[in-house]
Amino acid sequence: MSEGPDFECPFCGQAQRIVRDLLADIGDIQHVWRHFPLENVHPHTQVAAEAATSQWAVRTMYDLLPGHQGALLTSDLMGYAERLGFDVARFTTDRHRHVGATRVARDVDSADLSEVSGTPTFLPERV
């Protein structure tokens, strides 16, 4: 199963809680998180998506951000990085250089190819 989320989308936040419960209960589901930030609706989602890719501590940020949808300003993201034990200096540099932008853009391109038009989106795994 892959999901097309937006970190400011309230429905994505609700879905993430359900997905987390499903993953805990059913061990044979693979969950792939792909970014689909809807910047025209949610002004902080692109920055949050890029931050989530930082230092490849993927699961920690992905698990944390959906529960903090109203707090995605730079200062909030810096606090999360510090709380999660990131190298904060590197996190800051990565954010300024938009290091995660390529990963996010690749996910958006993949979503476009799959004809994703909204969030959250769940797709079956292709074999």
Q: How do residues 41-92 score in pLDDT, each as one tens digit? A: 899 989 888 888 876 655 678 778 888 889 999 899 999 999 988 899 999 9
- Residue with the two structure tokens 């930082």: 54
The answer to whether 82 touches 75, Cβ cutoff 8 Å, is no
Sign of the C-alpha dihedral computed for residues 62, 68, 69 and 72 taken in this order: negative
- Distance between CA 43 and CA 7 in Å, rounded? 10
Give the pLDDT confidence score for residue 4 in this predicted structure: 58
Give the pLDDT confidence score for residue 35 in this predicted structure: 85
Give the pLDDT confidence score for residue 1 in this predicted structure: 47
When pLDDT is cut at 50, 70 and 90, the band that residue 106 belongs to is very high
Residue-range domains of the chain with CATH: 2-123 (3.40.30.10)
Six token digits for residue 36 = 């689909």
